[in-house]
Structure 1
Amino acid sequence: MLGGYSLSPRGTGQALFAKDPEVDALARALASLRRTTKTEAVRQALRSEIDREKNKFDLVAQSIAFARGLREQAGPNPRPADKAFIDGLYEDP
């Protein structure tokens, strides 16, 4: 079991069998680049994609945490980002 996904060939579904020539060519190319079997190349690619998809949600959570941290640093009475403040960002020190 990997992140809620069963990678076991003995699951309740059918085994993966791709008749698509493009899929076969992609698996063969990846296997060649990684110097492994097509099965292992597909396994690694699927795991990598599952991890990448899971990290998308982590990015949202990280962004929310970052925004909360900024609010905490600003304190209970943050300075407004008015014209004077923004103009001050571009002045020479």
Structure 2
Amino acid sequence: MEPQVDRIEVDMTEATPPPKNRPTRLDPDQHAGEYAPEPALLEILANLGGAASWRTATAGQRARVIAAAGQLRSAGLDPRSIGLVSEAR
């Protein structure tokens, strides 16, 4: 003998929320806020720019480093994905 189960009928037309109007492609730049390069990336680029470190870099060198970091990002080259900067484990 099978146990008897009461069936409950639910009208899903009212219970289902309306579909969300989502964009076809999400833009991560729109939600990320202002870009802040990784500190290790700033050190590497400052060294490449001729400064001993980010702290000792001149204002001109820092401006070039920030511009280079922005160009890497806009080119889609995330420093972590290309192995330039490693994440802390």
* TM-score where L is the length of structure 1: 0.28
The structure with more helix, counted as a fraction of residues: 1
- Higher gyration radius (CA): 2
* TM-score where L is the length of structure 2: 0.29
Higher RCO (C-alpha under 8 Å, 6+ residues apart): 2
